[in-house]
Chain A
Amino acid sequence: LAKTTQPISMDSYEGQEVNITCSHNNIATNDYITWYQQFPSQGPRFIIQGYKTKVTNEVASLFIPADRKSSTLSLPRVSLSDTAVYYCLVGDGDGGTSYGKLTFGQGTILTVHP
């Protein structure tokens, strides 16, 4: 499965837009890109998933360039409550052979300041 690389940490201020980029140079044709958010003392929760181009939901946007070797999670107008760890995962939907290889890595620690 594709290895992902993310910045270890980022800082922002309330009201700003935050973009977190994930590199996945070896992404396979069947791979989807999924982002998770984890607050302290909680399990990760799904934010957004995409395959190509742009996906937007009520929480975030996900930008994926044509070569799909990277992806950018965009959080509009962050607040203090967006302080969390953000994980980028790359994996396919073909079944069990890839499930055991999904890895979360260390993620990106986003700190939003007042």
Chain B
Amino acid sequence: NAGVTQTPKFQVLKTGQSMTLQCAQDMNHEYMSWYRQDPGMGLRLIHYSVGAGITDQGEVPNGYNVSRSTTEDFPLRLLSAAPSQTSVYFCASTRDSGNTIYFGEGSWLTVV
């Protein structure tokens, strides 16, 4: 069982570059989300989706875009990377909001 798969695991970007973090889940979950976790901090919600074609902003959406064209995929786009976006990014999915949330293994992003 693949669960939630994130790529890449590690990435170094220069300030101003753009990139996309990929996330895919094979559990047919309707709900997906992206979190960022800074050192010593809890997870903060960036964007989330409650189904294909539906996305919404979380707590810290600025500088990020998402789309949900299929149930399986939920990519996160950094439009113009900034050093403040250096963080660990986690993608997650769940069948519905009251159920177990499954997380990917994380993507370590450094912006220099």
Contact = CB atoms under 8 A, between A and B. Distances in A.
A12 interface: no
Interface string B42-67: 11110010110010111100000000
B56 A100 contact: yes
B13 to A, nearest CB: 20
A53 to B, nearest CB: 18
B59 A44 contact: no
Given A43-B90, A99-B31, A91 B98 contact: yes
B1 interface: no
Contacts of A36: 101
A93 B42 contact: no
Contacts of B92: 43
Contacts of B45: 100, 102-103
Contact of B97 (A45, A49, A99, A105): A99
Given A43-B106, A99-B48, A32 B98 contact: yes
A44 B96 contact: no
Interface centre among A44, A95, A106 (most CB of B within 10 A): A44
Given A91-B98, A99-B50, A100-B58, A43 B42 contact: no
Interface string A6-37: 00000000000000000000000010101010
Contacts of A30: 98
A57 interface: no
A42 B106 contact: yes
Interface of A: 30, 32, 34, 36, 41-46, 49, 87, 91-96, 98-100, 102-107
13 contacts: A43-B92, A44-B43, A46-B102, A95-B50, A96-B31, A96-B50, A96-B51, A98-B97, A99-B33, A99-B50, A99-B96, A102-B101, A103-B42
Given A95-B97, A100-B50, 6 more contacts: A44-B101, A46-B101, A93-B96, A94-B98, A103-B44, A104-B42
**Which A-B residue pairs are the 8 nearest by beta carbons?**
A93-B98, A43-B103, A96-B50, A99-B97, A104-B43, A106-B42, A46-B100, A104-B42
